[in-house]
Structure formats: C-alpha cells, structure tokens
Amino acid sequence: MQNRKIISDASGLPHNEQVKQDEAGRRLDAMIAGWALPVEVPDDPLFSERVLSMIKHHHTPPFSRTKTISAFAAAAVLAVAVGIGLGNLVDYRKNSPVPENELMFVANDLGIGMTQIDPFEYLLSDEEE
C-alpha cells in the first residue's frame, strides 16, 4: 500500500488547508483595512453652542443650599406629623373601653372573676364548639 505524503507545516495543518486559512486571513485583513479608513467628520460650527445650550437646559446643580434646607425642613415637619399621629393612635388604643368590656362579658359568661380569665382559652373553647 502506497502511503500518500501530506505536506504540513508547523501548524500541523495540511498544506492546502493552511494556504486557504492564510488567504482567508489576508482577505479579512484587507476588509478590516477598508473598514478602518478614516471617517469623515462633518463640519458643524454650531456644535459646541448646541452642547452648551443643552447643558444649560438640562443641567441641575449638584448641590443647592436652599433646596437642601427646604428638603430637610419638609422632612422634619413630616416626621413631627407622623409622630403626633402615632401618639394619638396609641392613646386611643390605651383609652378604648372595648377590650376591657369584652373581657367582662367573657368573665360573666364563665362565672369567674376578671383576674382569672384566660381569653385565649375562651376563644379556643368557643372555636371547638
């Protein structure tokens, strides 16, 4: 059987394959060179003016003393209002006669004193029934 000699180079690829790859590489390089030609920059004498006007139009200063003080004052007023509201709510819950009355009815139903009542036990026994 005759062994066919395959010519290969340092890359280990058959000669024909290597030639093809080299050619492809050259074509890619040529394409990239065409693509990389300098881009024409159009004249635009008003460009910087336009940028500056956009900056003035959209730009907000990063720090404004007046705005910061106003924001803190508004936050403080809001905090006080929320505090007063919460305080009133707690007082209302504390002074409300409803829970105590409820317990009194329960104690009467069970025929026991107010100090002996266990509301959870009552509720559980109610559910079981």
Partner 1 sequence: MNNQLWLELIKKGDQTAFRELVEHYRPLVYRTVARFVTNSDDCSDLTQEVFIEVWRSINKFRGDSSVSTWIYRITVNKALNSVQRAKRRNWYSGLLRVPDYREPETRADETATGLLRSESAQLINQALDTLPGNQRAAFVLSQAEGLSQKEVAAVMELSEKAVESLIHRARTNLRKKLNHYYSLSN
Radius of gyration of the chain (CA): 44
Which C-beta is closer to partner 1: that of 5 or that of 59? 59
Which C-beta is closer to partner 1: that of 28 or that of 112? 28
Task: Report the site for partner 1 in 43-102 (rule: CB under 8 A).
Answer: 44, 47-52, 54-55, 58-59, 62
Nearest distance from residue 40's CB to partner 1, in Å?
Answer: 6
Among 6, 19, 30, 76, the residue binding partner 1 under the rule CB under 8 A is 30
- The Cα 57–Cα 50 span in angstroms is 10
Among 6, 9, 16, 24, the residue binding partner 1 under the rule CB under 8 A is 24
Q: What angle do CA 19, 20, 23 make, to 5 degrees?
A: 85
CB 11 within 8 A of CB 20: no
Tokens of 33: 């060179």
Q: Any idea which residue has 């009133």 for tokens? A: 88
Q: Which of 1-9, 36-44, 76-84, 111-119 is the region at the interface with partner 1 (rule: CB under 8 A)?
A: 36-44
Nearest distance from residue 66's CB to partner 1, in Å?
Answer: 19
Which C-beta is closer to partner 1: that of 20 or that of 67? 20
Tokens of 58: 């959209």
Among 15, 27, 67, 93, the residue binding partner 1 under the rule CB under 8 A is 27
Name beta bridge partners: 14.
Answer: 8
Tokens of 36: 């990389």
